[in-house]
Amino acid sequence: MLSKKQARAFFLGGTFVTFIIFIGLTIYSLSPGNDQTNEENLSAEVVRGKEIWESNNCMGCHTLLGEGAYYAPELTKVIDRRGAGYIKAVLMSPVSWQPNGRKMVAYAMTEGEANDVVAFFEWIGEIDLNGFGEVVGVDRKISPLAKDKINN
């Protein structure tokens, strides 16, 4: 059993070591070589697409980068899954539609607005997410948990 003096030294030493590790990891993650934001590909179209995304409250139904509502599909890698043409058709459609029983609002966007949103999705899709939202395809393995969900 530790005395009060030993317990205090153990606590302070552990706190100091943890603090040093935290500071080191913070510096490491903020270093330029570890930047995963894809900022160099940010364009005016991407910014307009983000503004359209926000003004239409798309996060009210969809998730992006894991943030948002869970009513509609995750859109982080949607260009990889569906393609730009499909996304443009959905955004430009004058009629609301109901995929899998969920009603998608008819935005009837212009082609320019749809192109901006697609540019935003393409930019988001190029961010290095360390495997989040990976598309399962012919050349990729599917996780056992996903197989169980697909088979059930």
| More confident site: 36 or 59 | 59
97-129 burial, b for 16+ CB within 10 Å, e for fewer? eeeeeeebeebebeeebbbbbbbbbbbbbebee
Q: pLDDT exceeding 90 applies to what percent of the chain?
A: 41
What tens digit of pLDDT does each residue of 46-57 get?
Answer: 999 999 999 999
Question: Which CATH number is 39-135 given?
Answer: 1.10.760.10
pLDDT of residue 51: 96
| Tokens standing for residue 138 | 């012919």
